Structure 1
């Protein structure tokens, strides 16, 4: 990348965005470190909705993506959500990895002060890269293209699903690995929480169910943090342990590390560094599938799933090209699975005027009866009446 002094006149008169930089190629590792007003630099092709919401919550000043935020493969809503929240989104025009030019991550580091002027990136008054400023109009065009491309992408997705379902069916439909948990699941309801779309709203919608039924609570990676934020402590945490906080891992929940089929489990090292014991569960598929299978095999009466991934866009946003394990898991679990994803969108509570009238009348009746027999109350009401009359006349 070439270096050039930022002209003093431009720096003063045409600055669009400026702030301290926070960078990480993995968005899920970057978001917890971001502070209000910082500029996020990431490498996230087809920016997904969950990542966008996380960036919005941190109230970043701008997002610079070293990958294409929306390729048009499928209609990912992340870029549009950022723009609707008033956060500038820029796609960096980087060359190929072997063209000799350093990547932005090699030039810019945490804590650097970056200035963005109409797509030009400057650090310490030196030019470090040129980016495309994405607009709602541009995102709209890409979204329209993605809609026309969805049929082709769906064919690929289905082919991948069927191909891997054929390879993985022996595991998911055969005898599963044994697991001796201290958490008792037999005959109980189990709530499996994944940090997917609408998980916050859905947890709020079934809040009373959780309080009354007291199901066994299983958080899948970041789903454990979702439970803690909602005021519940997870009984167990299942996952790769790469997108869950240390505070969740040390909250007292039973940990089940999802391992590869060869037994290797990179997430186990992190758990061991925290000094916490964990079970290891080697299996293909996603961690949310494993959580459901464990609950099913240990005798759960009912499995309620929140925030799980159930459609093509969900899986493509997770970087998965098919859903074979999810298909096989749901076939095995069968009717005991209740999917609560999106339940919060089924209805919106509204207070009608009739209901308000009933409440008001129900309140006035005892007050009127009390006033009829108590002279003190009658005097107070008379004083209030005259005060109101004086105010409004």
Structure 2
């Protein structure tokens, strides 16, 4: 018997109703743009991933109602666990009818039920830490199947898109010069805020080319940094990011269609570069940095572990894996840089430090009797030196 069946048959729901206006969207990424603290988020998200869960937590909703199973058992996704750790109630598997609820109407989550206007409009499973842990245990047993599927998918991708690994993808000319420089590729993904904070000394001293992947551009702006280059389909970057002065590379489909270009042009930006290419925008940003001569590529918020690859979805995993093979030793994770990099003290800083120490010593001597006597003798000797120099002329 699966964990989900056990949940439906014997799970006891915690008490305590939660009230708030309903915010409904099948795309969690779009919902978080308008979700406010105290709202009830209504989503339709199989296998809720870490990035989406962290985005929901940042919005501080009163509860999350999912039409789909937050964990299907395909792989051990941590999204539900993150929500519960943040104290956000989650009602799972409420069915597709919950997505037809009106936007903004007051609702109540009571146990495993969703109530609107006094009527129960949906029932699901109220997640608890124990239930989520049991689901994760079941899902871990399926990891070997996912690794096998990943291997087959990667080989299919190699056959279909072998030029990505062997010949490259015909990258355009850019006005941003990356030759011999470090590049910092920022994705609004895993722990991007913490990584950007720890990389501040590196950014200040190494002055890398700052590349934002869609919403990664806003992540840089939040830290007071202006992106040099923005790569993506331009659906999750703000207008402020697009008009920040960065060079824009619009990631298009292989047939040349670029849905994001219309938005860019509507903002009056006419010099955006359109790049039709396979893979994800994250992959394209790394390939651009590599092809344009970057000496080192530091990745922030990107996918590194097996679970993170699975979070990405099977369609994007193969291109990400192959991109890392192509970029090779140039690519370094932000955490590795923050551990290995040590802030260097410049020569100018050492001079100012020495002067500050000398001034402190002079001030200390000036307030003591011995120090005043020393300065008196020093003044007499200085007068003798000046008299000797005058006698020469």
- What is the alpha-carbon distance in structure 1 between the residues aligned to residue 295 and residue 339 of structure 2? 26
Task: Check the 8 A contact 2:280/2:316 in 1, yes or no.
Answer: no
Task: Check the 8 A contact 1:205/1:343 in 2, yes or no.
Answer: no
Deviates more, 1:231-240 or 1:269-278: 269-278
- What is the alpha-carbon distance in structure 2 between the residues aligned to residue 200 and residue 131 of structure 1? 34
Deviates more, 1:328-337 or 1:109-118: 328-337
Equivalent residues in 2 for 1:146-161 (5 A)? Answer: 146-161=139-154
Moved over 3 A (4+): 341-347, 369-374
Task: Check the 8 A contact 2:310/2:317 in 1, yes or no.
Answer: no
Match of 2:53 in 1: 52
Note if 1:38 corresponds to 2:31: no
Match of 1:373 in 2: 368
What is the DSSP-based 3-state SS (H/G/I as helix, E as strand, rest coil) of the residue aligned with 1:80? helix
Match of 1:70 in 2: 71
Match of 1:333 in 2: 327
Which has the larger Rg?
Answer: 2
Task: Check the 8 A contact 1:199/1:341 in 2, yes or no.
Answer: no
Note if 1:218 corresponds to 2:215: no
Equivalent residues in 2 for 1:127-142 (5 A)? Answer: 127-142=120-135
Question: Which residue of the other structure, out of 180, 183, 186, is the alignment partner of 2:179?
Answer: 186
What is the DSSP-based 3-state SS (H/G/I as helix, E as strand, rest coil) of the residue aligned with 1:74? coil
1:242 CA displacement: 1.8
What is the DSSP-based 3-state SS (H/G/I as helix, E as strand, rest coil) of the residue aligned with 1:208? helix
- What is the alpha-carbon distance in structure 1 between the residues aligned to residue 366 and residue 178 of structure 2? 57
Alpha-carbon distance change, 61 to 343 in structure 1, aligned in 2, over 3 angstroms: farther
- What is the alpha-carbon distance in structure 2 between the residues aligned to residue 26 and residue 65 of structure 1? 11
1:287 CA displacement: 0.9
1:303 CA displacement: 1.6
What is the DSSP-based 3-state SS (H/G/I as helix, E as strand, rest coil) of the residue aligned with 2:141? helix
1:65 CA displacement: 0.7
Question: Which residue of the other structure, out of 289, 294, 300, is the alignment partner of 2:294?
Answer: 300
Which digits, 9 at most, give the CA deviation of each residue in 1:130-170, with x for residues without a partner?
A: 12111111101101111111111111112111221222112
- Give the superposed CA RMSD: 2.6
Equivalent residues in 2 for 1:102-141 (5 A)? Answer: 103-106=97-100, 108-141=101-134
Alpha-carbon distance change, 344 to 24 in structure 1, aligned in 2, over 3 angstroms: farther
Alpha-carbon distance change, 345 to 187 in structure 1, aligned in 2, over 3 angstroms: closer
Task: Check the 8 A contact 2:184/2:300 in 1, yes or no.
Answer: yes
Which digits, 9 at most, give the CA deviation of each residue in 1:301-341, with x for residues without a partner?
A: 22222221133321221223463322332333232222225
What is the DSSP-based 3-state SS (H/G/I as helix, E as strand, rest coil) of the residue aligned with 2:298? strand
Match of 1:20 in 2: 21
Note if 1:261 corresponds to 2:254: yes
Task: Check the 8 A contact 1:312/1:322 in 2, yes or no.
Answer: no
Number of aligned residue pairs: give it.
Answer: 338
Task: Check the 8 A contact 1:72/1:142 in 2, yes or no.
Answer: yes
Alpha-carbon distance change, 154 to 322 in structure 1, aligned in 2, over 3 angstroms: farther
1:51 CA displacement: 1.2
Deviates more, 1:153-162 or 1:328-337: 328-337
1:197 CA displacement: 1.1
Q: Which runs of 5+ in 2 are unaligned?
A: 1-14, 342-356, 370-393
Match of 2:4 in 1: none
- What is the alpha-carbon distance in structure 2 between the residues aligned to residue 32 and residue 344 of structure 1? 30
- What is the alpha-carbon distance in structure 1 between the residues aligned to residue 337 and residue 77 of structure 2? 21
Which digits, 9 at most, give the CA deviation of each residue in 1:268-315, with x for residues without a partner?
A: 222223222321111111111111111121122222222211333212
What is the DSSP-based 3-state SS (H/G/I as helix, E as strand, rest coil) of the residue aligned with 1:323? helix
Match of 1:313 in 2: 307
- What is the alpha-carbon distance in structure 1 between the residues aligned to residue 320 and residue 234 of structure 2? 20
Task: Check the 8 A contact 1:16/1:117 in 2, yes or no.
Answer: yes
Q: TM-score, normalised by structure 2?
A: 0.80
Equivalent residues in 2 for 1:156-175 (5 A)? Answer: 156-175=149-168
Task: Check the 8 A contact 2:221/2:241 in 1, yes or no.
Answer: yes
1:258 CA displacement: 0.8
- What is the alpha-carbon distance in structure 1 between the residues aligned to residue 22 and residue 312 of structure 2? 26
- What is the alpha-carbon distance in structure 2 between the residues aligned to residue 287 and residue 70 of structure 1? 26
